[in-house]
Structures are given as structure tokens and as C-alpha cells.
Amino acid sequence: MVNGVSLTVNSVTDMPDACVVSINLIPHTMAHTTLGDLHSGSQVNLEVDLIARYIARQLQAAKA
């Protein structure tokens, strides 16, 4: 979630020093949420889905 808006991730690219996440925003979302007010460099609140946390923990345990 970005600023309380649930979004679908389009792609994730792992970089040596970062992770680039791409999402698609439709006009309705832009017009009816605060996301339309954002610009490059805006600070946002990110929330990770509980299932994603569970999967990440399972993958870490499998590596050990």
C-alpha cells in the first residue's frame, strides 16, 4: 500500500544498491486518492502486505 491505497505491483527490478518497483496507476485512482498530488521525490507511507512478510520469512528460513 502507498499512502493507504492498495496497488498492484507491475514489476520489481533488483539493483546492486536498490530495488525498483513499478506500478500502474489508472486515472480513477489518481483522481480519487491523494496519489494524484504526488511528484518525484515526494515522501510516501509504504505498508507491506502481511502475506508478503510471511513469504519473505519462509524464504529466509529456507536459505538457512
- Tell me the per-residue pLDDT of 3-62, one tens digit each, with 9 for 90 and over: 999 888 889 898 898 888 888 889 999 999 999 999 999 999 988 787 887 788 888 888
What pTM, to 2 d.p., does this model score?
A: 0.58
Residue 47 vs residues 2, 15, 30, 36, 44: alpha-carbon distances, Å: 7, 21, 19, 18, 10
